[in-house]
Amino acid sequence: MPASAPPDAPGARERPRIVFADMDDTFLAPDKTLLPRNMAMLDRLAEEGIEFVPCTGRAWHAVPEEVRRHPATRYAIPSDGSVVIGAASEEVLLDQSLGGERALTLLSRVRGLLGRMSFEVYADGRVFTDMHGWGLIERLGLPAAQTAYMRASRTLVDGPIEEAIRAARTVERVGMCWGVTPNAHELAAAARAAVGEDPTLRHTGSNDSAIEVIDARASKGAALAWLCDSLGIPRGRSMAFGDSPNDLEMVRAAGDGVAVGNACEALVAEADHVTATNAESGFARYLEGVLG
């Protein structure tokens, strides 16, 4: 079990030089909105010269603009660690992406399932879906906030999804979503089996209604370690916040891995500390205690 410290306990940990945070159900509120207390903490990190790095399964342009353009945010790790980018330039600094060829091969393996699930392409900082995937969003049985987010963050392609794959410069990862349906277990097993046919791929995810397919080398934790090393920041001076299974590598890699209070049991077990929930601005509360 982690050593739990009150989020406002002064001196709970050494002051970080770089802070990584998952977005959904960690930094963002449960309804996916920005919390004023967390945004105020970003202001403080910028003032004190502490790097803030969104480390998320989202595509870069699906991260709220207020976070993307914030002075504290100079680097980002989108698409589950498939790339590390410069926030302002969007230049790819570390490329461990899936690539178009493997995305097309995977698509061919799951084509028979596409009447019941979507196949989305995370490429060049955006999420691309075809007409079928777009129409499926409303029928996935997901919470209203998740449905609204998916509608707002997807780019509808005029034609088959293969065209988006072939046109992309960097295919970062793909996502397959089947939602909350009676045959979800069957679809999940079939999708995971298709990924398992290629040992250079792996799947991760934050819930049971979808999987995120990435290069086997890629993870939030590997990206965290690479960025710390590239910036000359000791990994022991890094801090990471997460809530779900796809945050495990990041929390393990950080000098101080912090689980928000609503995190899954596996992440709580791995974390060094546990803070308040995302609804209670656990990100800011913990850092307030550390920074004093």
pTM for this entry: 0.92
226 pLDDT higher than 50? yes
Model confidence at 12, in pLDDT bands (50, 70, 90)? very low
Count of H-run helices and E-run strands, the chain: 11, 14
Structure-model confidence comparison of residues 276 and 136, the more confident one:
276
How far CA 291 is from CA of 5, 15, 50, in Å, comes to 14, 6, 11
Provide the pLDDT for residue 24: 96
Provide the pLDDT for residue 4: 43
pLDDT above 70 coverage of the chain, percent: 95
Provide the pLDDT for residue 102: 98
Query: What is the arithmetic mean of pLDDT over 261-285?
Result: 97
182 pLDDT higher than 70? yes
Which residues are 212's β-sheet partners? 175, 204
Provide the pLDDT for residue 115: 83
Provide the pLDDT for residue 13: 65
Both structure tokens of 107: 């698509």
288 pLDDT higher than 50? yes
Model confidence at 139, in pLDDT bands (50, 70, 90)? confident
Provide the pLDDT for residue 140: 79
Query: What is the arithmetic mean of pLDDT over 26-41?
Result: 97
Nearest in space to 193 (alpha carbons), one of 110, 114, 122, 116:
110
Structure-model confidence comparison of residues 116 and 40, the more confident one:
40
Structure-model confidence comparison of residues 132 and 122, the more confident one:
122
Q: Kindly give the residue spans of alpha helices, DSSP state H, lying in 7-143.
A: 36-47, 65-68, 100-110, 131-136
Query: What is the arithmetic mean of pLDDT over 37-60?
Result: 98
255 pLDDT higher than 70? yes
8 pLDDT higher than 50? no
For the range 84-91, what are the long-range contacts, defined as Cβ-Cβ under 8 Å and sequence gap of 24 or more? 84/223, 84/226, 84/227, 85/60, 85/125, 90/60, 90/125
Provide the pLDDT for residue 205: 72
- Alpha-carbon gap, residue 76 to 253, rounded angstroms: 16
* Residue partners of 144: CB distance under 8 A and separation at least 6: none
Which domains are seen in the chain, by residue range? 18-95+219-291 (3.40.50.1000), 100-215 (3.30.1240.10)
Secondary structure (3-state) at 284:
helix
On average, the pLDDT of the chain sits at: 92
Query: What is the arithmetic mean of pLDDT over 135-163?
Result: 90
| 161 backbone φψ class: left, alpha, beta (φ>0; ψ -120 to 50) | alpha
Provide the pLDDT for residue 206: 59
Burial of 140 (0-12, 13-18, 19+ CB in 10 A): buried
Q: Cβ(52)–Cβ(73) under 8 Å? A: yes
Provide the pLDDT for residue 1: 36
What's the length of the chain? 292
How far CA 153 is from CA of 1, 39, 75, 233, 239, in Å, comes to 37, 21, 20, 33, 28
- Alpha-carbon gap, residue 193 to 250, rounded angstroms: 25
pLDDT in tens, 186-224: 888 999 999 999 999 999 875 678 899 999 999 999 999
244 pLDDT higher than 70? yes
Quick one: CA dihedral 206, 72, 16, 95, positive or negative? positive
Model confidence at 86, in pLDDT bands (50, 70, 90)? very high
Per mean pLDDT, which range of 4-18, 127-141, 245-259 is the poorest?
4-18
